[in-house]
Amino acid sequence: MLHLLQAAQVAYALSRFPKKQVLDGADDQKRLHDSIAATRAAAADLSAALRDRTSVKWKELVAEAGDDEASWRIAKRVVPSLFAELRPLLRDDPEAAFLPQPPAPAPRKVRRA
């Protein structure tokens, strides 16, 4: 699980930049594709029981990201949920302290009529 999050770090970091900036640079595109591919390979090593326990969109992650838009979509939608769901499970691992922690979701405002 730690290996999966380490592989996803680059995609997570790149997803914090503007889309145009990442997808216009050949180096950033390659790093994004490589990180998604490494994350996909590491996800294959996880047990089915762990996948079923989480709300991560595994089908989107393992789907082939052949183009830049698909890679960007995975980096923006799936990778942050990996960190949100799996990072708390590694809280006792010292190496997990260096993994990014996604921001907490903003509380929803309740409208009363």
Tell me the per-residue pLDDT of 69-103, one tens digit each, with 9 for 90 and over. 888 999 998 898 888 888 888 877 787 777 777 76
108 domain-assigned: no
15 domain-assigned: yes
Confidence at residue 32, expressed as pLDDT on a 0 to 100 scale? 92
What's this model's pTM, rounded to 2 decimal places?
0.79
Query: What is the domain extent for residue 57?
Result: 2-98
How many domains are there within the chain? 1
25 domain-assigned: yes
Confidence at residue 113, expressed as pLDDT on a 0 to 100 scale? 64
28 domain-assigned: yes
113 domain-assigned: no
Collapsing DSSP to helix, strand or coil, 24 comes out as: helix
106 domain-assigned: no
84 to 56, 65, 80, 87, 91: CA distances (angstroms): 9, 22, 6, 6, 12
Confidence at residue 105, expressed as pLDDT on a 0 to 100 scale? 67
